[in-house]
Chain A
Amino acid sequence: MKKWCFAIAASVSLLSLAGCGAPGGDTTASSNKGSDAGIGNSRLQTVLDRGSLICGVDGGIPGFSFVENGEYSGLDVDTCKAVAAALFDDPTKVEYRDLDSTERFEALKGGEVDMLARNTTWTISRDTSVGMEFAPVTFYDGQGMLVREASGITELKDFEGKSVCVETGTTTELNLTDQMRQLGVNFTPQTFQDADAAYAAYEAGSCEGMTSDKSQLVARRSTLTNPDEHVLLEVTMSKEPLGPLTINNDSAWFDTVKWVTYALFQAEEFGLTSANVEAAVNSEDPNIKRFVGAEGTLGSDMGLPNDFALRAVKHVGNYGEIYERNLGEGSVFKLPRGLNAQWSEGGLIYSPPFR
């Protein structure tokens, strides 16, 4: 009897202590309490209190998220860095979690990560029934087709009687069949379980075309023996808008991720880069002054530092810089901007006004 009592007593006291926080704990988080943003219960407050952002990434997609020189890099990673820079003025205050495609939404729902920047296509079901909230698209991908330049194939119709390598069980395969049936082209799909095998077969010449997401085709092309002999067709077979996302029903946090992303777009439109953004506080243009937080209360109204946009751009660069560094001319991929150009240059990158 006595022993049991003490066992119960000990476990009760353990439970009572489990909830206590460390007295001398890390208190570097700058608590920027919003005036009326209602961030008390928001993930935003959690992140600010913690003093670092936990960002779910893939970790294994060339150009988007990978490790180089002992650091995470890539377009998705830079999105995480921008949010951390906006909140903490320090792009290194991010913890990355590698998530695979099956667990990414669960990890967000369970609160293991604050946001996802993990090559996730914005679809209606993910936005509604899965319960996600999609921030602006940071990369408009689409299914493309890689062919040998010497083969003379310039459009999908030229595949009459030829074969295409494709990964099996993907939407890619279904899209390909749909497109070809629409065009009435008779072709042979060669399906592979594994991407490496599919590209190896394509390189060995067992099929005339190789289809996958364009960004992946470009990344893979650079690993082929003679990359210059291969070209991407102009055609786009599906829409794959990729962007960061947060959990549903948390407006303050969603707004944070959304407007930090827009800030990257808007900075490019304003011509603000990581090099000149700090000088912009002295700009004559009231729009720019508002944007960098030298005027108005755009940031503090959201519960963020007023100069959140300046911080993000200063540390990570504007969207154009991020793109060029990871996928464009500054990278091995040399992927043209295409749909990812600013709206003023014929692309889809468009930020609502900052005012």
Chain B
Amino acid sequence: MTTVSSRPIERGAPRVQSIGPVAWSRKHLFNSWFNSILTIVLGLTLGAALFNLLSWAFIQANWSVVADNFGNFMSGLYPPESYWRIWSVLGIIMGLSGLTWGLLARNQPQLFSRNVLIGLGAIALFFILWPLTRPHTPYLIGVLVLLAVAAAAGQAIGRKAPGSTKWILAAWLVSYFVDLYLLGGGPFFGRGTLSPSLFYSIIVMLGGGIVAGWQLSQRISIPQIPTWISKIVLFLVGFIVVYQVLWRLPYALGLDVGLKNVSTNSWGGLTLTLLLAISGIALCFPAGVLLALGRRSKLPIVQAFSVAYIELIRGVPLISILFMGQVLIPLFLPEGVRPDRVVRAIIGLTIFSAAYLAENVRAGLQAVPLGQSEAAQSLGLNKPLTTALIVLPQALKTAIPAIVGQFISLFQDTTLLGIVGLVELLGISQNLLASPTYLGDYKEGYVFIAAIYWVFCYAMSYGSRRIESALNTDLR
């Protein structure tokens, strides 16, 4: 039993007011002789390390390896005359980010608070002052302006039509395919490369074919043959005819126009790293949630499959999955049928991360008290609605730190693809650092890409903290 006193706790004599750096350091750093010695020793060590680092970075280091190959670090061996396509992709992403930000913050009185303005200004100043980005300053500033304008526009739209927020996800999904097309190019109505095949063949051609086959099989019936056979045959006929027509028509009409094809072999650097990470994250999240739900399911086959999948994948190192994808799949599938290397890499990352993510989500699910779903059921919600509306939101909120941790490690795991031969950020660095011109400058190269990785990982971690505090309903 605890007793709660309503009176405030008795205090002794008022303390000496400790304000100001001297008082602060006396209290925290020099409050006993032992701590004073520790402070001095550690301070000197850290100071010496920092001094050495700075004197290396500013005096000894030869940053020309980074400066001369900046474009390659950012986008691998992507043809320089097509760099505008990568800039467009960045523009689309930043514009959408701005819109999303504005829409979500539509109820804030002022979008550009003092801190935001200072932040944007600091980034702009950094772009202007940093020698590496100086050649691209106009573009970068333009992208920042785009972000701000889109944010303002998004807020205006959001205030006028609050329902437009639900289109954000769809807009991002569409922009993903647009970005892929910008990167890959190729005839717009063709197969050939990764992006148009997703864009046109899968969505339009498959969709059209399936609709036509379905309609045909519904409307016509052939007597004398069992219904289901005739339906299958009719479906196949309708599907194949429409598919082929949709496929060949653009060529017949001379519509094989499009951007110059840039094969995925030329994708590289930070662009490829981000593409791999974003695709992997976007795909592994739903897969992980489904697996987590499957593992807690009462359906024996679903549960057994989920358990088997999770335990099997978690028992295999990521590098071996990626290695299998890059080296062993070609042993089974002949050239022409096998998926693109980048697709195989994304699939490998997704397969691996989904298993870990499932366990993170399952931990969240278990943290939701049973009373929640019982309460939902007593309100008359059925099983799927209970899961979707009551249990899962709470579970995901609890699991945010673990999930984001998994995303961060997926981002870092993309470096393993450098070992199996994709020239992502680490891979292209190894290629560039082997150049005789920059032989021995490996410290500079690796420090540079380490900084890039840090920026992105920290941004993710910061974002997750913001989401956590935004969703934190406990202390309101």
Contact = CB atoms under 8 A, between A and B. Distances in A.
Interface string A59-75: 11111011110111100
A234 to B, nearest CB: 24
A86 B432 CA distance: 27
Interface string B194-211: 000000000000100110
17 contacts: A1-B228, A6-B214, A9-B213, A17-B243, A18-B337, A23-B248, A24-B256, A59-B427, A62-B434, A66-B436, A67-B72, A98-B418, A98-B421, A98-B431, A107-B326, A109-B331, A222-B440
Given A13-B209, A66-B432, A110-B331, 9 more contacts: A9-B213, A14-B206, A22-B190, A46-B335, A59-B423, A66-B434, A73-B435, A103-B421, A112-B327
Given A66-B434, A67-B77, A222-B439, A111 B334 contact: yes
Contact of A13 (B240, B265, B433, B439): B240
A190 B442 CA distance: 23
Interface string A161-204: 00000000000000000000000000000000000100000000
Given A60-B431, A100-B419, A106-B327, A9 B248 contact: no
Nearest to B263: A95
A353 interface: no
A59 to B, nearest CB: 5
A96 B327 CA distance: 15
B247 interface: yes
A218 B4 CA distance: 79
A302 B316 CA distance: 46
Interface stretch (B229-237, B304-312, B361-369): B229-237
Chain A interface size, under 10 / 10 to 19 / 20 to 34 / 35 or more? 35 or more
A147 interface: no
Nearest to A1: B228
A99 B436 contact: no
Nearest to A225: B440
Interface string A294-321: 0000000000000000000000000000
A interface SS class:
mixed
A120 B442 CA distance: 24
**Nearest 4 CB-CB pairings of A with B:** A223-B440, A110-B330, A66-B434, A67-B431
Interface in B397-445: 418-423, 427-428, 430-437, 439-440, 442
A35 interface: no
B436 A13 contact: no
Contacts of A206: none
A66 B435 contact: yes
Nearest to B190: A22
Given A70-B71, A98-B427, A23 B232 contact: no
B419 A70 contact: no
Nearest to A4: B228
Contacts of A152: none
